[in-house]
Amino acid sequence: MPNYVSEALHKFQHPAPYRPEHAPHDWTKPAYGQRQQFVTPHDDSDPLDQDGINCVYQVVGTLLYYARAIDSTAMVAINSISGEHAKATENTAKKVTRLLNYFATHPDATLQYSKSGRVLKLRTNAAYLVEPRARSRHGAHYWLGTLGIDDNNGAIKNNSSIIQPVVSSVAEAETAGCFYNCIDAIPIRIALEEMGHTQPPTPVTCDNSTAVGIANQTIKQRRSKAIDMRSYWLQDCECQEQFKIEWAAGANNKADYFTKHFSVSHHREKRPEYLHTK
């Protein structure tokens, strides 16, 4: 989408940053070994006036379209800001500025697709309690490839959304993420079938063995009534041969990128895996 970012920056009268910005959001360095961990302090900065709130709405809407279409590396940041814009504050404005600086540094992202099969593949992941108000986040990476081959192609869709209910465990978060991401995969399966590309059970990769065991009915559920609806929906879809949910190591899970606020070094390392670099 040539010149989309430059035109958006001109629209919002955003100047080029003094220093390159390689991360679309802030990052809190983890304190390993700390016995007591505290939640992020409540945002007590001054609220924005209505013009400021409207500006946040416009920036989020403009950049979200571009992120969904091309540059998915900013989806976590945009989704976090969109959860604040109704009650935007000065801190929200700072996040918007950093996001615009990121796009000014990386203005023309490119997706590259290579010749492959037309089988829909999906990697899903979730991050437990990473958002305010005890919320968790799920992410997904969808692409087309060849069945039985561990290929890598440009994404046709990426997800990054907050799980609205408060989940009570990592396994519940992963099961919920798998549930939501598989729901989004169904219209893609139908579209591919109507285009003449017969779909086998869609391979769904998850790095949580408990969530995979629940979906595959290899784990006996105990005290998991809170996730019954989602788990039985996944089990029924597997019986109908719509999905084949499998475990794979987290190091190879490309959906992990869309669930957390990572460091600058991580963004610089991972960006070439999702976008074509000239």
Encoded tokens for 103:
């796009």
Mean local confidence (pLDDT), 13-30: 89
SS3 89: strand
pLDDT higher than threshold 80 for residue 165: yes
Mean local confidence (pLDDT), 171-200: 93
- Interaxial angle between packed helices 50-69 and 75-82, expressed in degrees from 0 to 180 and rounded to the nearest 10: 150
For position 158, what pLDDT does the model report? Answer: 93
Comparison of pLDDT for 47 and 98, the residue scoring more:
98
Comparison of pLDDT for 38 and 64, the residue scoring more:
64
For position 164, what pLDDT does the model report? Answer: 87
**Confidence band of 65 (pLDDT split at 50, 70, 90):** very high
pLDDT higher than threshold 90 for residue 98: yes
**Confidence band of 46 (pLDDT split at 50, 70, 90):** confident
For position 225, what pLDDT does the model report? Answer: 62
Q: What is the DSSP string of 119-152?
A: EEEEEEEEEEEEETTTEEEEEEEEEEE-TTS---
**Confidence band of 267 (pLDDT split at 50, 70, 90):** very high
The whole-chain average pLDDT of the chain stands at: 88
pLDDT higher than threshold 70 for residue 84: yes
**Confidence band of 277 (pLDDT split at 50, 70, 90):** low
| Lowest mean pLDDT across 42-46, 64-68, 93-97, 183-187 | 42-46
For position 224, what pLDDT does the model report? Answer: 60
pLDDT in tens, 222-266: 656 667 777 788 888 888 889 999 988 877 788 999 999 999 999
For position 58, what pLDDT does the model report? Answer: 93
For position 195, what pLDDT does the model report? Answer: 94
For residues 232-257, one letter each, b for 16 or more C-beta atoms within 10 angstroms of the residue's C-beta and e for the rest, the string is ebbeebbeeebbbbeeeeeeebbbbb
For position 169, what pLDDT does the model report? Answer: 86
Question: What domains appear along the chain, each with residue ranges and CATH number?
Answer: 4-109 (no CATH), 119-258 (3.30.420.10)
Please answer whether residues 265 and 27 qualify as being in contact, where contact means their C-beta atoms are separated by less than 8 angstroms: no
Percent of the chain whose pLDDT exceeds 70: 96
CB proximity list for 5: less than 8 A, separation 6 or greater: 66, 103, 104, 107, 108
